Amino acid sequence: MEYERHSPADSTTGTPLHKFYPLAEQKVRNSNNGKIPADMRSALTKIKKVHEQPDRLVTVYRAAEQGSDTKTKLKKGDWVTTDQYQALHYRFNRQGPIITQRVPARHLYHVHTPENITDEYIHGPIQDFGYDPS
């Protein structure tokens, strides 16, 4: 997900992380002939660990804008990822630091937007989430 092309994350159109596991697994299997490829196992494991545990803390990463401080706190609508390497990839375009923060699973949403949902299947990286602490 290239941050510049997306509006702020809107939790009203998404699935909370702690309820996302069944959809995430379905998405991966549907895209891979019913199998879970090795490169998706880590992401699914992280999602499964917080299933039905809204208060469990999750480490998330955000590629911040150039000039940002690494101590910058996440704000509502920020796009984050549970994959540190994915954040490094996103940083390539932004040239800023990676912000790392631990947040409750209930503050993260896999957002369904016109850009990333078709029919009933979710599209876009399964490790990317919108942040909403409200």
Instruction: Give the total number of structural domains in the chain.
Output: 1
Name the nearest CA neighbour of 104 among 42, 33, 54: 54
Cα(75)–Cα(22) distance, integer angstroms: 27
Cα→Cα distances 42→15, 48, 74, Å: 20, 10, 24
Domain that holds residue 57: 3-131
- Return per-residue pLDDT of the chain as tens, 134 residues: 344 445 666 667 778 889 989 888 888 888 889 999 888 888 889 999 999 999 999 999 988 888 888 788 898 888 888 888 888 888 766 678 899 999 999 999 887 654 444 333 344 577 788 888 88
